[in-house]
């Protein structure tokens, strides 16, 4: 037999063997290719090389046949297709691929710890009339038709107030005001809003000053007025469980019957929900601290309707993150408070009030610095300047006439002996600071009368308004106590130079004071510039843009100067984590989209 015939027979035999082995391999009998033999001699022989070459050629032919079959199938499908469609599809694919590659880094979840404003994606709400009308039926099923209002006057009153420093725009109004009666109903309302992407603002007492409840995105307003119950008083544990529309004055009237009281005391009409939201304080802050010191636990409804409780009732806990304080001061941007467990304390049995006047505001402020530095345990120290005292006299809401000079109000509490000693110490320090008069109440009635002047401050300035074009701008800052005299004196001089009427009043024991400025429509920019300089002055003195009023809309652009861009970017990240759709009180505290040209004042 010729060599060629022998070779042909070997090839045929080998191909049949390979085909048989491939069948076995598909059935699981053979797990590796036989030409990859481990016999080195066979691998290096002519026969081994021949078998390897033959197998590779067969595999290449099979791959080519598969490609040809795929091309024929595509050609078959393309028959009858317009000539322009194929290049169009190819072009779209190329452009789409390039665009996806360019945005690849932002399409994936960000791993950054903060969100700069330049990277913030504006919220996508749905406030189309059809959506809101459809949602109305859902809200009706949750709270009942009688607890939904679309009356024009109610919508206006739930978007701003005459004492707010933010002038609400006509479009800053909700579609409807909804009054839930329980935590579960609040949850039901939020589930509807989350599903339909409807923005929400919360409303309790409506006494906020920095535009906190302006409905900048429309949507709905949740009014907590039906949730106004004191739920449980634990006298032995010194705590009380309340709903958000309980006023601090009403609460203290109830607690007084049990010889207890709740120290935070902001302006009249303030309610617990808003007090938690702004982290308020009041005249008692010097002795008792601020709102964050008196809240033990919160029940909160999140943006998607989830109900959480931040902790239990014990006075101390190391159980995880401090969610309670996270929500205090968040101004309804992270969740809606529906219950609060508050600490209370025994009512002081002996309270005395003293009042002293000074020739200048600096001397009054220096007296405060001396009293605080001496460590005298005073319950409260308040300052009112000569303009404020004149407004109180002209308003006539107190039963006496006051000396129109810078005045300090002191509140003392404790045993009769200790109070007498503390009054004597303060009287001596005031005299060294050049006080002109010093008087103290002999009983509770006289004390209430003296202290009433302090509580009339805002309303007495508002009484100076002549017509509807006049407005009151109430703002506050706080500085380290050593800079108090400087900033009060400089701010008072600035107001006088502006030609506006403005009063100074404040809880100066902790370096916090307020300016109450009267202006008309034509003078808005002038008042704005005075406030801007006052806030800038405070921050440059290592102070804060807001001691207790909160940030809202008016103070948000000062935060980067006060705490830095990184801290504000972290707040924005927290907002996104708690409220990914930005439904809750959008635009407050931190911006969620870039401002328009000229919207932010130059620093």
Q: Where are the domains of the chain?
A: 1-32, 35-108, 129-223, 230-346, 351-554
> What is the model's pLDDT at position 70?
67
* Cα(137)–Cα(145) distance, integer angstroms: 9
> What is the model's pLDDT at position 454?
81
The radius of gyration of the chain from alpha carbons, rounded to an integer in Å, stands at: 37
φ/ψ bin of 270: left (φ > 0), alpha (ψ from -120 to 50), beta (otherwise): beta
> What is the model's pLDDT at position 51?
55
φ/ψ bin of 396: left (φ > 0), alpha (ψ from -120 to 50), beta (otherwise): left
> What is the model's pLDDT at position 587?
95
* Cα(374)–Cα(369) distance, integer angstroms: 9
Q: Which CATH number is 129-223 given?
A: 3.30.43.10
* Cα(478)–Cα(495) distance, integer angstroms: 18
> What is the model's pLDDT at position 109?
67
> What is the model's pLDDT at position 96?
59
> What is the model's pLDDT at position 458?
85
pTM above 0.75, yes or no: yes
> What is the model's pLDDT at position 75?
59
> What is the model's pLDDT at position 508?
85
Name the helix (H) or strand (E) containing 501: strand 501-506
> What is the model's pLDDT at position 55?
65
The length of the chain is: 603
> What is the model's pLDDT at position 161?
86
Instruction: Count Cβ atoms within 10 A of the Cβ of residue 111 and give its class: 0-12 exposed, 13-18 middle, 19 or more buried.
Output: exposed
pLDDT along the chain (603 residues), means of 10: 49 50 44 41 50 63 68 60 56 57 55 94 95 96 97 93 84 96 98 98 93 95 98 98 98 97 92 96 91 97 98 93 97 98 94 93 94 91 94 88 93 90 93 92 80 83 90 94 94 96 91 94 95 97 96 96 97 97 97 91 88
> What is the model's pLDDT at position 39?
46
> What is the model's pLDDT at position 91?
61
> What is the model's pLDDT at position 23?
43
CATH top class, domain 351-554: alpha beta
Q: Which CATH number is 230-346 given?
A: 3.30.465.10
């Amino acid at each position: 037999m010729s060599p060629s015939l022998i070779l042909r027979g070997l090839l045929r035999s080998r191909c049949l063997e390979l085909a048989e082995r491939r069948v076995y391999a598909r059935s699981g009998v053979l797990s590796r290719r036989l030409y990859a033999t481990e016999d080195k001699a066979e691998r290096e022989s002519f026969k081994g090389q021949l078998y390897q070459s033959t197998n590779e050629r067969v595999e290449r032919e099979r791959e080519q046949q598969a490609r040809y079959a795929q091309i024929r199938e595509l050609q078959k499908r393309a028959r009858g297709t317009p000539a322009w469609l194929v290049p169009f599809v190819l072009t779209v694919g190329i452009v789409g691929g390039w665009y996806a590659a360019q945005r690849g880094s932002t399409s994936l979840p960000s791993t950054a710890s903060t969100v700069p404003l330049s990277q913030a994606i504006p919220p996508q709400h749905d406030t189309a009339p059809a959506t809101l009308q459809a949602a109305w039926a859902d809200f009706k099923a949750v709270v009942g038709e009688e607890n939904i209002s679309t009356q024009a006057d109610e919508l206006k009153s739930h978007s701003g107030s005459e004492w707010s420093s933010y002038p609400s725009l006509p479009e800053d109004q909700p579609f409807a005001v909804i009054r839930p009666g329980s935590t579960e109903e609040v949850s039901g309302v939020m589930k509807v809003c989350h599903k339909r992407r409807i923005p929400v603002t919360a409303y309790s007492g409506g006494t906020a000053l920095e535009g906190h409840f302006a409905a900048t995105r429309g949507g709905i307003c949740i009014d907590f007025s039906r949730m106004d119950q004191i739920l449980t008083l634990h006298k032995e544990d010194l705590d009380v469980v309340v709903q958000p529309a309980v006023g601090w004055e009403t609460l203290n009237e109830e607690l007084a019957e049990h010889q207890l009281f709740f120290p935070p005391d902001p302006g009249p009409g303030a309610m617990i929900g808003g007090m938690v939201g702004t982290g308020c304080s009041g005249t008692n802050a010097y002795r008792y601290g601020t709102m964050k010191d008196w809240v033990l636990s919160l029940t909160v409804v999140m943006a998607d309707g989830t109900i959480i409780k931040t902790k239990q009732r014990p006075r101390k806990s190391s159980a995880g993150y401090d969610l309670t304080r996270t929500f205090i001061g968040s101004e309804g941007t992270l969740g809606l408070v529906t219950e609060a467990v508050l600490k209370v304390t025994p009512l002081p049995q002996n309270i005395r009030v003293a009042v002293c006047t000074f020739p200048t505001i600096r001397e009054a402020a220096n007296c405060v610095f001396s009293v605080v530095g001496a460590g005298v345990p005073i319950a409260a120290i308040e300052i009112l300047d000569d303009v404020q005292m004149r407004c109180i006299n002209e308003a006539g809401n107190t039963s006496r006439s006051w000396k129109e000079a810078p005045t300090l109000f002191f509140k003392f509490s404790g045993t009769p002996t200790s109070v007498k000693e503390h009054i004597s110490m303060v009287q001596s320090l005031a005299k060294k600071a050049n006080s002109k008069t010093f008087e103290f109440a002999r009983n509770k009635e006289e004390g209430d009368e003296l202290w009433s002047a302090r509580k009339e401050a805002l309303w007495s300035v508002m009484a100076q308004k002549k017509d509807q074009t006049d407005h009151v701008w109430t703002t506050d800052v706080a500085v380290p106590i050593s800079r108090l005299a400087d900033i009060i004196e400089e701010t008072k001089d600035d107001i006088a130079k502006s030609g506006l009427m403005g009063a100074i009043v404040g809880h100066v024991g902790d370096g916090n004071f307020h300016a109450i400025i009267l202006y008309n429509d034509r003078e808005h920019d002038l008042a704005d510039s005075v406030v801007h300089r006052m806030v800038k002055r405070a921050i440059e003195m290592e102070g804060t843009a807001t001691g207790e009023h909160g940030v809202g809309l008016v103070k948000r652009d000062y935060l980067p100067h006060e705490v830095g861009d990184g801290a504000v970017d972290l707040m924005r990240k927290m907002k996104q984590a708690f409220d990914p759709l930005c439904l809750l009180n959008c635009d407050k505290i931190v911006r969620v989209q870039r401002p328009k040209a000229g919207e932010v004042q130059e620093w």
